[in-house]
Chains A and B, each alone.
Chain A
């Protein structure tokens, strides 16, 4: 079965600092990978997704993620964090073999200090 691990429950960074949120997946073949963001009281918004091709994926709001097959990782990065980036971030995986349901990690809560 597919699974997703986000090892960091909380991360605090200073505004303007760089950010990396970790995500590891467990799946035999190459899955489809997603990062979603959830602001307080809001639904989930897609930041970026990876299916194939270039392993460095650009998303909205200045985020990017890199797929590393050898490490089964899909870490999310941003070079300079803004206070408005404070939210909860979810990594997710899907694949046709398991239907198209998204399997989510536990989420990482990002706090931004000024």
Chain B
């Protein structure tokens, strides 16, 4: 079956602009995660969604970052007023449920470059 897909693959934007990154999880997966991979910070958790529960936003680095998940499926990560330090690869993952032992399946990522 299809894996996690993300779009766009690459995004170049100017400082101060807003960007939206999209994630399509594996069908039937109720948990969805966003991570960021950057040279300075490595791989870090941003936010996760599980069903209709309130998302865990504890990893979002600032209030410029937000995410939503519509209909329990597709998710959009929005970065407002982008800064150069936002340049990174943004990875989305999904899992069947929210148990810690469940495998998180990762998408190929969106590479964001803020000029």
Q: How far is the CB of B112 from chain A (nearest CB, A)?
A: 15
Per the CB 8 Å criterion, the residue count for chain A at the interface is 24
Chain B, 80-104, CB within 8 A of any chain A CB: 91, 93, 95, 98-104
Residues in A with CB closer than 8 Å to B91 are 43-44
Given B45, B93, B101, which contacts A32 in the complex, CB threshold below 8 Å?
Answer: B101
Residues in B with CB closer than 8 Å to A36 are 106
Q: How far is the CB of A27 from chain B (nearest CB, A)?
A: 12
Residues in B with CB closer than 8 Å to A105 are 42
| Chain A 22-50: CB-based contact to B (< 8 A → 1; otherwise 0) | 00000000001000100001111110010
| Chain B 38-75: CB-based contact to A (< 8 A → 1; otherwise 0) | 00001111001000000010110000000000000000
* Chain A interfacial positions (CB closer than 8 Å to B): 32, 36, 41-46, 49, 51, 90, 92, 94-96, 99-107
Closest 6 CB pairs of A and B: A104-B43, A101-B45, A43-B106, A44-B106, A51-B101, A43-B108
